[in-house]
Structure 1
């Protein structure tokens, strides 16, 4: 199994102290955590893309370029690239450049994106967002693979024998499709033989499992070898300690503060207590052995080879954050790598 840390770069008050970091402090923390992730042995580091508060992750290529300069081995992910909002030509130019700056360590997770405010900002509607995502991806895919492209579509001007520069380093790049609630992203991934990354954050396991089942069904429908399907999945939170009692004691006030924050903005949480979240959500909270067993249970349903953990401290002290990530790599990751085989990332020996 492979392990990523992912951040959406929220700019929120610390759930325990109430202190809101500046944008500069948040970006510095994102970069420092990426360096720590490589130091500890994580396989990848991902940066999301959002264009509305409380997120400041509107420019993942810029952030990941800085991560690329500060690291040398770790794979760099977008989580997700919101192609439904973007001009695919501009997106290609940014990510082709980043592909070179990172030495070919880039992987994309694409999706339509979430949030009414960012749809309004980019003049995208709920009715056309999936068509925009599909069309943008199809053009992006052509641009990455072909030196000259002739194309026409609905949402941007046509291209006639167009050249785009720089040409990318990786040929082709691996593109994952982010999946949360809709079959459209699942079908698009299966149609093109691309891997799927399930959000697996907000709800219990079954809605995500059903979408992954549908992905595998459509994968076969489009004539791909079932053995080649590749799935990743998110987690709703992470905190490991030597005992489950210690882990829950530390994570409970953080969980409760986040629950209250959801309620203040009118979102009723799905999981009613910390015990409910540990039992029914994908949150990995407990002793190393408990976390290993939980990931195995999810793997039995998903068949996934990659998982992500939240990169942010989210109420932990810097020392607690480092310690729990180090514990994951020392006591959890080796067992899961042994129990759940995974294919190598592009350009990696294992």
Structure 2
């Protein structure tokens, strides 16, 4: 099972000191966080993509390329690549280039984004978010799998005899996750292609997460990719740890209360009860995280958010150290002890996808499966 961290790259005042990092300081901090993740033995570092203040990661491939040059094992991912407002032609180029530079240590998570003003900035209409996500991703698959593409759709100019460059490393496209917190159409899309489904459940109760993951799993099976329990699932999580629960809550409370997304809303205690947020000891984080599989099933990737809401860098690095030293080793052992033999422990990687060979389902533009009614092939 893969464990890692993701960042949304917010520039937020530290409520305990009033200090506000510059954009440069925040960007540098994010790269230090990534290096720390590899140092302590985590598997994945993922960055969001935002084009509006107070966020800074507007160019994920630039930052991940920098991280790739300074790491050896870390899988470089995104905690959303905007498939709606980005041109799929540019996504194909950028992430294939990153794949080559990183030696295949890259996958990415497609998402629609939830910031309405971004759509018109890039000439798009948020009301077309779902159709954009579906059409753009299918074009992206073709660009990564066909040497020459002739294409025409609703949302961009046609392509005639177009060849994307560079083509994916070893002629093997990166593995793709589809991230969604509330759109069943995206879970359906992930299932249709046999891709991964990532539910960033940090704002949602377990019943909602269970519903979305179950939809994806059931459709994954109906499309003929394998049993429902073999579907590739990732989950988000949010933690803050100290030697005692009381101390963890004392330190984290002002950051929670002033967080840009959920601050000035439910109390820390209410939010911890209704969402996966865990503020306490490492042992409590282990216990809570192991419980995710009780409602989401055995899954393959767990990412934690640890660096938001104005938390100072030194505090974030300490949290990552605790994850690597006290939490993740226990989670690895316990999750694998519980996992049935027929359920994959890891999501696909470049190495595993290359090993499947040129005839693998991953190399197909459209999977050779149906929805059970024979309506879609």
TM-score (norm 1): 0.92
Q: Conserved in 2, the CA contact under 8 Å of 1:289 and 1:332?
A: yes
* Aligned counterparts of 1:148 and 1:320: Cα–Cα separation in 2: 50
Q: Describe how 1:15-34 pairs up with structure 2 within 5 A.
A: 15-34=15-34
* Aligned counterparts of 1:335 and 1:348: Cα–Cα separation in 2: 26
Match of 2:119 in 1: 119
Please give the root-mean-square deviation of Cα atoms over the aligned residues, in Å. Answer: 1.9
Deviations 1:270-289 (A, max 9, x none): xx222222222111221122
Q: Describe how 1:229-248 pairs up with structure 2 within 5 A.
A: 229-235=231-237, 237-248=238-249
The alignment status of 1:336 with 2:338, answered yes or no, reads no
Match of 1:220 in 2: 221
Deviation at 1:86?
Answer: 1.2
Q: Conserved in 2, the CA contact under 8 Å of 1:16 and 1:257?
A: no
The alignment status of 1:168 with 2:168, answered yes or no, reads yes
* Aligned counterparts of 2:58 and 2:304: Cα–Cα separation in 1: 21
Change (3 A) 1:260 1:300: closer
Total equivalences in the alignment: 341
* Aligned counterparts of 1:207 and 1:306: Cα–Cα separation in 2: 19
Q: Describe how 1:264-279 pairs up with structure 2 within 5 A.
A: 269=265, 272-279=266-273
Deviation at 1:44?
Answer: 0.5
Q: Which residue of 325, 332, 336 maps to 2:320?
A: 325
* Aligned counterparts of 1:305 and 1:260: Cα–Cα separation in 2: 27
Deviation at 1:157?
Answer: 1.7
Q: Which residue of 259, 278, 286 maps to 1:284?
A: 278
Match of 1:71 in 2: 71
**Which SS does the other structure have where 1:234 is aligned?**
strand
* Aligned counterparts of 2:255 and 2:157: Cα–Cα separation in 1: 48
- The 10-residue stretch of structure 1 (303-312 or 89-98) with the greater mean CA deviation from structure 2: 303-312
* Aligned counterparts of 2:199 and 2:321: Cα–Cα separation in 1: 25
Deviation at 1:201?
Answer: 1.6
Q: Describe how 1:6-17 pairs up with structure 2 within 5 A.
A: 6-17=6-17
* Aligned counterparts of 1:330 and 1:127: Cα–Cα separation in 2: 45
Deviation at 1:127?
Answer: 2.4
Match of 2:375 in 1: none
Match of 2:294 in 1: 300
Deviation at 1:260?
Answer: 9.3
Deviation at 1:318?
Answer: 3.7
* Aligned counterparts of 1:344 and 1:164: Cα–Cα separation in 2: 26
Change (3 A) 1:344 1:192: closer
Deviation at 1:172?
Answer: 2.6
**Which SS does the other structure have where 1:127 is aligned?**
helix
Change (3 A) 1:259 1:109: closer
TM-score (norm 2): 0.86
- The 10-residue stretch of structure 1 (337-346 or 60-69) with the greater mean CA deviation from structure 2: 337-346
Deviations 1:226-284 (A, max 9, x none): 2430110112x311222222222221221122279744xxxxx3xx2222222221112
The alignment status of 1:309 with 2:304, answered yes or no, reads yes
